[in-house]
Structure 1
Amino acid sequence: MAYTGWIILTASLVGLSCGLIGVFLILRKMAMMSDAISHTVLLGIVIAFLITRELSGPHMLIGAILAGLLTAFLVQWLHSLDIELHASMGIVFTTLFAIGVILIATSAENAHLDVKHALMGEITFIPFNTMTLPFIGTIPKTTIILALVLVVVALFIIVFYKEWKITSFDPALAASLGIPVTLMHYVFMSLVSITTVASFDAVGAIMVVAMLITPAASAYLWTDKLAVMLILSSSFGVISAVTGYFIAAWVDMSISGSMAFATGLVFLVSFVLSPNHGLISKFIRPATL
């Protein structure tokens, strides 16, 4: 596959995974949790590096996932103390992210870890870091990892579809039916963390947040059915990835930034043209009554 093809494919895998996960973040009214986790995983990555002194390997993924789970736990704990949920997210993510930045500046200054890379990523280098698989050939490592993450996310959603649906819309009913709501919550936070970490190095925190929230919010404007919303959200993620790449090539700017901008364009179109919630339908509907 050509250089451009690998970049678009990798970004599309990010859009697919984040689009699926983002639907449940929107429905659970935890959209900003994606922002929190996408920043606090930096702390887990830095601590994993300080322990192992290696910049690659499964320890990075484990450290980032633990940081994501710590974020979810601290947010829930503060919320249980009657602190408003979004305020809890803001307190936790700014504190943990700041600790990560301080550790980079004081203890990991000679390593290839920097805040700009964490925020923006560097998807242009993805095609150069490859590995060879039997019967398949040479493939970028990040593309393989993102493909595996997509399979895991899709598998969990399919297998536990009923549980995700009930716990997202009515946690009290789910608890009365014997569904382990707390366990499902932390499993979901683990999926958010895994998806975020897998996308982190390639596209950075800004695009991860954009892909987790905006396609799902756009899909929410088009349908009231969960299955359709999942399909639309993941499709919007892919459309944003492809469109963003060509915008970046056209104006010669950051690819990740352009893809994040493309998610905003998709939302704008949805906000205007959505048949039930769009601006045009709201103007037409009174005239037809």
Structure 2
Amino acid sequence: MNRIFDFSDYGALLALVHNSLYAGALLGLVGGLVGVFVVARDLPFAVHGTSELSFAGGAAALLLGANVVVGSLVGSVLAAVLFGVLGARARDHNSAIGVLMPFGLGLGVLFLSLYEGRAANKFGLLTGQIVAVDDPQLVALAVISVVVVATMLVLWRPLLFASLDPELAAARGVPVRLLSPVFMLVLGLAVAMSVQIVGALLVLALLVTPAAAAVRVSHSPFVVPLLSVAFALVAMVGGTLLALGSSIPISPYVTTVSFAIYLLCRLVARLRRPAERPGEPAPAQVAEVL
């Protein structure tokens, strides 16, 4: 248990991970916002596929001595382009995504096996690192966060409409075909950010679980994103604080907190009256709001 929870030098260690806390807050904001549309558009499988190619790009950069953030971005953008071409809803193309996922993971494993540097760098790409966020990396994460959040704010209303009822949105003049690849690019940027902190294997805990928990307790298009961001922030920052001083990677803490929030939201939903049926808002309701 001392390896899992050891707060004897907590104060001294806290001063060493302020960049990680800032990065966690940025990831919570971005992951919570993007996750709303990942759930609405039924894209968890695409998130996992994007993370595999982001992992391959980061591993290639590590092998070549290049910037790992840039490598992850290249891999994520490549995945976003490929998945965006497949159509508006990745669930119709799961077989194609399933083909690309093991290919990306295989490339990443190959690159890491050829890498002769520190083993912690290899392990961190898969499971995350708590103290590896330096100032240049934090600046890069902040810039990506600004781009993602600004894009989401501009596209929020039409993207929400197109995610819940693409046929009705198209009839109302929403550019549904254009929004799909644009969102996939935004998703690729969010995945590339997340891989740097929580690792490629556990990105779903940040980009899916908080939003999935939020839609269990609310169907409001205004409340769900607020709850999703709040849940993601608690998971990231809380997981980071719990992991501080432990020899265990950060990702198990983040995933555990995120899953606990999801279970709590399911319990709240079960205790409510069946007639309320929280979940995704009906398309007609969204159309009235928009």
**Corresponding residue pairs, total:** 262
Alpha-carbon offset, residue 208 of structure 1: 2.3
Partner of 1:135: none
Residue 264 in 1 paired to residue 277 in 2?
Answer: no
Alpha-carbon offset, residue 194 of structure 1: 0.8
Residue 65 in 1 paired to residue 73 in 2?
Answer: no
1:149-174 CA-partner distances (Å, limit 9, x unpaired): 22222211221222111211111223
Partner of 2:203: 208
Residue 11 in 1 paired to residue 24 in 2?
Answer: yes
Partner of 1:88: 96
One of 255, 267, 280 as aligned partner of 2:271 = 280
1:50-103 CA-partner distances (Å, limit 9, x unpaired): 7xx342177525522332224414754997xxx953343323212232233234
Partner of 1:142: 137
Alpha-carbon offset, residue 196 of structure 1: 1.2
Partner of 1:29: 42
Gaps of 5+ in 1: 130-139
AA partner of residue 253 (structure 1): I
Separation of aligned partners in 1, 2:151 and 2:169: 17
Partner of 1:175: 170
AA partner of residue 117 (structure 1): G
1:164-190 CA-partner distances (Å, limit 9, x unpaired): 112111112232333332221111111
Partner of 2:248: 253
Contact 2:62 2:68 in 1 (8 A): no
Equivalent residue of 1:179, what SS? Answer: coil
More deviation, 110-119/91-100: 110-119
Residue 236 in 1 paired to residue 220 in 2?
Answer: no
Partner of 1:153: 148
Alpha-carbon offset, residue 209 of structure 1: 1.8
Alpha-carbon offset, residue 116 of structure 1: 2.7
Contact 1:27 1:169 in 2 (8 A): yes
AA partner of residue 66 (structure 2): L
Cα separation, partners in 2 of 1:253 and 1:162, compared to 1, 3 Å: same
Cα separation, partners in 2 of 1:58 and 1:168, compared to 1, 3 Å: same
Normalising by structure 1, what TM-score? 0.78
Normalising by structure 2, what TM-score? 0.78
More deviation, 113-122/213-222: 113-122
Cα separation, partners in 2 of 1:253 and 1:100, compared to 1, 3 Å: closer
Equivalent residue of 2:116, what SS? Answer: coil
Alpha-carbon offset, residue 282 of structure 1: 5.1
Structure 1 residue runs of 4 or more that deviate by more than 6 Å after TM superposition: none
Alpha-carbon offset, residue 112 of structure 1: 6.2
More deviation, 258-267/153-162: 153-162
Alpha-carbon offset, residue 49 of structure 1: 6.5
Separation of aligned partners in 1, 2:205 and 2:94: 18
Cα separation, partners in 2 of 1:77 and 1:6, compared to 1, 3 Å: closer
AA partner of residue 88 (structure 1): A
Residue 38 in 1 paired to residue 51 in 2?
Answer: yes
Contact 1:44 1:66 in 2 (8 A): no
Cα separation, partners in 2 of 1:104 and 1:157, compared to 1, 3 Å: same
Alpha-carbon offset, residue 30 of structure 1: 1.1
Equivalent residue of 1:3, what SS? Answer: coil
